[in-house]
Amino acid sequence: MTQPLAFIFPGQGSQSVGMGRAVQETSANARLTFQEADDVLGYSITKLCFEGPAERLDDTVTAQPAILTTSIAILEALAERATSIGKRISEGREPRGVAALPAELRPRYVAGHSLGEFSALVAAGVLTFADALRLVAERGRLASTKGAKGAMAATIGLSAEQVDAVLRDATPDGRTVVANDNGPSQVTIAGDADSLATASDALMRAGAKKIIHLRISGPFHFPPMGRIGGEMRQFMDHLVWREPVVPVVANVSGRPHPSAAAIPDALVRHLAQRVEWLRSVRSMAEGGVTTFVEIGSGQVVSGLVKRIVHAKTMAISDPPSIADLVAKLKGAPA
């Protein structure tokens, strides 16, 4: 039986030097997760997460596997704290994901913001951690070498509909678009550098309170990024996709993926289409979720949830926050 919980995972922009170190130091399974990541990638993502430099951690090629690794290490630390199964939930030919958690900790849905959707797929047992890591590494490589060039910025104070209207006038050629519908008054835009600057000025004149340029080295959820979709799909054809043990809410629709077979196509569209985060959160709330638990570095996506629905939010990133979550949900002392 699942609880009225959703596990949500952050995407690119949540990275920070030092992320994951605390769980790696205290959880055997988190250590194994970081070690597996180093082995799969062929370089020390562990050292990059813990020591930086920040400039390299912000690069799409390394940021994507670093964020995935950190989120899954934290999830593994949670599972280790809450169960006595003795091995990781994201490994083996049939990864159990959150189905291995005790009933009081098992979420009703999992979802990830942008890149975070890949962490959600691991949590749902759709992909092993190793396969997801290979996939995001390839996604980052293709985006860096063959993808669109440009930038992304968060617009505060306007809805997606308002931003769309401004962009139609300011950049009618489609060189800047809404990339993430993050909430009633927070929208991320993506485009080439010149067009993004023009759009930002127009949005401020239209009433935006603030424009924040994101620490990301390429524009995702932007139509020209779709040109890497064919090669990404070819890579995904060699992976094993299992039916999710819990529904995974898709960024491109805001609804659960209908089947494992549909996921690769959705992830290709994910490159070029906007992240429907507002719709995703509302969908999970309509499905009975009353508590959203962010698993990863920071509290960005749980902060977005607070602006969308009236629900409890928690964020786990280190041993104390994991202990607090387990205590509150299992009714045991921390």
CA dihedral (290, 295, 299, 303) positive or negative: negative
Beta strands in the chain (DSSP E): 5-9, 109-112, 151-156, 176-183, 186-191, 210-213, 248-249, 291-295, 312-316
Cα angle vertex 138, ends 135, 143, to 5°?
125
Burial-class residue 172 by CB neighbours within 10 Å (0-12, 13-18, 19+): exposed
Short-list 3, 31, 240, 225, CA closest to 114: 225
Residues in the chain: 334
Taking CB atoms within 8 Å and a gap of at least 24, the contacts of 324-332 are 325/78, 325/105, 325/293, 326/78, 326/81, 326/82, 326/105, 329/3, 329/5, 329/104, 329/105, 330/82, 330/102, 330/104, 330/105, 331/104
- Catalytic pick among 71, 114, 217, 280: 114
9 CB contacts (<8 Å, ≥6 apart)? 71, 110, 111, 112, 113, 116, 117, 119, 120, 123, 294, 295, 296, 301
Q: Which residue shows structure tokens 């209207």?
A: 165
- Catalytic pick among 113, 221, 257, 270: 221
Residue type at position 159: S
Annotation says 114 is catalytic: yes
Cα angle vertex 307, ends 302, 313, to 5°?
35
The overall longest dimension of the chain from CA atoms, in Å, is 58
Gap between the terminal Cα atoms of the chain: 24
Among all residues, which ones are annotated catalytic? 114, 221
